[in-house]
Amino acid sequence: MTLKQITLAVNDYCNNKCDVMCQIYKNAPIVKTGASEFTGMLRRQEFRDLQEVAITGGEPFMNVEHLNGVIEGMIEALPNLSWVFINTNGTYPERVGKFIEKFAGKVPKLTISISLEGTPEVHNKQRGVRSFELVMSTIDVVSKSGRKNVTGSLSTTITLYNADVSELDYVRCVAEKNGFAHTFRMASKSGTYYHNENTGKDEQIPPKKVEEILAFIAQHYSEDPFQAMQTRYLRTGQTGLKCTAGSDFAFVQADGKIYPCIFSTRVIGGKAEGVTTSVITDLGKQEPCPCCTECAVYPMMNYGPSENRQQRQEALIQLR
């Protein structure tokens, strides 16, 4: 078994307070896994074929020295690395600029994904801090990087605060103006990742709002495979994809524990011993399957069995 994609949390603390959807901000600012430990893990055989690494946190740019160390080690350890994707809350424009200067020439493709939740006041409410202006500066830094292999993306999480197509459309326009991609998903529960399993903040988005979002997807995102899958999921509760969590892709938490995906409570290895459970025959027993987030759906479609490519095509045709 060799993994093709991982999502790796370099830390699990941050400087926003997105209480409505994520409780990571409550964690103490402690580095739980040193850069050299992550590098040692990535040198193992089961990571040899990794093509994509999505760096996340917490907020990765809060500790630049640690982040740089992890990225340097990753580049050194992974011979097939073709895409580094990094999530940020956009509050460190200068650090993001320096990061691009440092690493754009060292990886084939680098994407900076910046969280933007809607218009200024809605964004600030959802993020629990007044970060809108800094986010706009970070977008500006990325769009003006002048590097051909650096792309920008905006990421929106839909909660009761911003579940309105006017908010999504605002972010869509900011993305379009800057030549960025835009992706969005419904807020979900994950004890392993967002630590929001017991918050009680699970009010449902009203069905009318969901219908409006579905119409918005059909109007503006009809060529987006993730949104095609999200449409299916919101309509039927299923994506129709065969899940290969733990074999094609995995989630590495900041403490070095390895999980099949961000939703799973099943530990399949760790930073010292690598992946120890290579064949999982009972996915769904310790995971709230099915799910629909980009970090699971894209690897399933890109690296899963060929029937998943077929499903992807059918979902796009249904959406069009």
Binding footprint of ligand SF4 on the chain (CB under 6 A): 14, 16, 18, 22, 24-25, 57-59, 89, 243, 245, 260-261, 263-264, 283, 287-291, 296
The full length of the chain comes to 320
Of 20 and 110, the one with the shorter C-beta distance to ligand SF4 is 20
The answer for 85, left when phi > 0, alpha when psi is -120 to 50, beta otherwise, is beta
DSSP state of 25: G
Residue 55 sits at φ, ψ, to 5 deg, of: -85, 135
The nearest distance, CB 88 to ligand SAM, in angstroms, is 6
Of 14 and 46, the one with the shorter C-beta distance to ligand SAM is 14
21 lies in the binding site for ligand SAM (CB under 6 A): yes
The nearest distance, CB 262 to ligand SAM, in angstroms, is 9
Tokens of 264: 């799973």
Q: Which does 151 bind (CB under 5 to 8 A by kind): ligand SAM, ligand SF4, none?
A: none
Tokens of 128: 């629990």
42 within 8 A of 50, measured Cβ to Cβ: yes
Q: Which does 196 bind (CB under 5 to 8 A by kind): ligand SAM, ligand SF4, none?
A: ligand SAM
Q: Which does 243 bind (CB under 5 to 8 A by kind): ligand SF4, ligand SAM, none?
A: ligand SF4
Q: Which residues contact 153 (CB under 8 A, 6 or more apart)?
A: 111, 112, 113, 114, 175, 180, 181, 182, 183
Q: Which does 264 bind (CB under 5 to 8 A by kind): ligand SAM, ligand SF4, none?
A: ligand SF4
312 lies in the binding site for ligand SAM (CB under 6 A): no
Using CA of residue 133, residue 138, residue 114, residue 66, what is the dihedral sign?
Answer: negative
- Residues in the interface with ligand SAM (CB under 6 A) total 19
> For ligand SAM, which residue of 6, 8, 22, 283 counts as binding (CB under 6 A)?
22
227 lies in the binding site for ligand SAM (CB under 6 A): no
Q: Which does 248 bind (CB under 5 to 8 A by kind): ligand SAM, ligand SF4, none?
A: none
Q: Which residues contact 37 (CB under 8 A, 6 or more apart)?
A: 256, 271, 272
Q: Which does 288 bind (CB under 5 to 8 A by kind): ligand SAM, ligand SF4, none?
A: ligand SF4
User: In degrees, to the nearest 5, what angle opens at C-alpha 277 toward C-alphas 269 and 307?
Assistant: 115
What is the spatial distance between Cα 158 and Cα 217, in angstroms, rounded to a whole number? 13
The nearest distance, CB 183 to ligand SAM, in angstroms, is 9
Burial class, 200, CB count within 10 angstroms (exposed 0-12 / middle 13-18 / buried 19+) = exposed
Of 77 and 292, the one with the shorter C-beta distance to ligand SF4 is 292
- Contacts to ligand SAM by CB under 6 A: 14, 18, 21-22, 24, 56-57, 59, 87-89, 115, 155, 157, 185, 187-188, 194, 196
